[in-house]
Structure 1
């Protein structure tokens, strides 16, 4: 069976790697017969070239199509000199949104509160379409939630910032603020978001949510089926 090689960005924060490994444990529990290998682009071990030793399907554990997805992952695969199919990134997908909403619920957010304002906080990118993908989710939540408002915000590079988004929500009448984490794992940027959020409720990253694990497997299955058809 073709191995699934899941590659995350990597972080100096040990919580990040632990969260990625926990997610992959869920993936393994859903598909015990599958060889699932985790690795990182940078800052953590093992690196991609350490685990990509034979033809495989590489699933980038990235939420959007920013620089790491467009440049770093293909370059790392090419450097390994091992034939591999690289899947699409995890986002956009409704299951990521479901996971983010579950994290808000776990943080004690009441979804029926019409005074609630929600910040959907992502990393931020110099690649505008990656930021727009997050903003699109925020706009959809704003239309469908019944909350006072939903605003996208970014931890770096892009705007608005978390404080700016909170101010926009207060201007819309929100008296309670919650921050939804559009991050896969803990690290420097999620910590920055939590600090900037002040006394707002901050949900934890998506991490080992079962729907995220199912999404990883779906990316793998789709790439493998497409490869079989092409052959």
Structure 2
């Protein structure tokens, strides 16, 4: 069996994929329209041999004309321009270049097997946070999900929770349209028990195609936000920094946090002591006390938590001179780095947890 890569290529249950044409039916740079489950899909053979599929409906008017659009490019990105208003869309993400944020074009997945082209609806993005009873924490995480939804208007973006809050992940997966597959993006900072067990089990128990990506961290963009929070808190040149992470009984998650501490140290150009609020050692209060004994400056805790809540309160009571805000706060704006990480986890198949 010969499988050729396309713009969006994924394995899926046979009921998800619909054959629409053969490669030999397509001409480079031109589109063909197909009817799939009552929806018109425009299929394109690109000059480099890849195949793309998008909704045939023009986002501005609803007219089914995109198969007659103009195939082009912006840098290394393949694009399609509407034949009506010349709005230009990215063929991989559906983003509108001419009216960013105002329009988006639904993208379909493409699979080619032995010259036969099949398409499937785009995957839903399920943003799965831990959950919290803290109202500021809830608002902060909800704002992040809303920002992801705004950034990728062509996607179904649903929020779900591993614990404390509802809806939980299984119920969100069950409520998606029957034909939809899903990618769960953990709104967690390390890939530990919740990812490898809770979310993996939810994916495995679902009757649809579901993948789970790795967590948001480690990632240099998180380090950028941590450094920003330290500057906002008034970091001085002689301050000693202690990174306060949630902690986990899963050594993989603990190691992720230690890596983030090393990355933050490199970013700041000074030592950073990684500590944990629960489950792992050293605990934050102990790390603060140890660092204080060996420094003449202040001790500053860098709060490596996604949002306000009980753990953030514990970090603030660990005895440091200054404690930063977590990555997200209840007040806008949402750090754009976090939005981009979530989108990247969804877009990149290499980020999927086995």
TM-score (norm 1): 0.87
1:20 maps to what in 2?
Answer: 141
CA-based RMSD of the aligned residues comes to 2.1
Specify which of 136, 140, 146 is matched with residue 259 of structure 2: 136
Specify which of 276, 283, 294 is matched with residue 154 of structure 1: 276
2:314 maps to what in 1?
Answer: 192
Per mean C-alpha deviation after superposition, the further-off stretch among 165-174 and 185-194 is: 165-174
CA spacing shift, 1:49–1:143, aligned 2, 3 Å: closer
2:325 maps to what in 1?
Answer: 204
C-alpha contact 1:41 1:76 (8 A) present in aligned 2:
no
Report 1:96-135 matches (<5 A).
96-110=222-236, 113=237, 115-135=238-258
CA spacing shift, 1:143–1:62, aligned 2, 3 Å: closer
Aligned counterparts of 1:95 and 1:77: Cα–Cα separation in 2: 27
TM-score (norm 2): 0.58
User: More helix by proportion, 1 or 2?
Assistant: 1
The alignment partner of 1:5 has SS state of strand
CA spacing shift, 1:171–1:139, aligned 2, 3 Å: farther
Structure 1: 5+ residue runs without aligned partners?
Answer: 227-231
C-alpha contact 1:17 1:44 (8 A) present in aligned 2:
no
Aligned counterparts of 2:347 and 2:266: Cα–Cα separation in 1: 33
1:177 maps to what in 2?
Answer: 299
Max Rg structure: 2
1:168 maps to what in 2?
Answer: 290
Q: Does 1:95 find its partner at 2:212?
A: no
Higher relative contact order (CA 8 A, sep 6+): 1
Specify which of 55, 58, 77 is matched with residue 181 of structure 2: 55
| Per-residue deviation, 1:14 | 2.5
CA spacing shift, 1:220–1:118, aligned 2, 3 Å: same
Specify which of 343, 349, 352 is matched with residue 217 of structure 1: 343
Aligned counterparts of 1:56 and 1:144: Cα–Cα separation in 2: 35
| Per-residue deviation, 1:225 | 10
C-alpha contact 2:285 2:319 (8 A) present in aligned 1:
yes
Aligned counterparts of 1:58 and 1:28: Cα–Cα separation in 2: 14
What per-residue deviation string (whole Å, max 9, x for no partner) do you get for residues 135-174 of structure 1?
2332343355344x32111001111111221123223324
What per-residue deviation string (whole Å, max 9, x for no partner) do you get for residues 76-103 of structure 1?
2233333212111111111111111112
CA spacing shift, 1:90–1:140, aligned 2, 3 Å: closer
Aligned counterparts of 2:152 and 2:287: Cα–Cα separation in 1: 40
Structure 2: 5+ residue runs without aligned partners?
Answer: 1-121, 329-333
| Per-residue deviation, 1:18 | 1.6
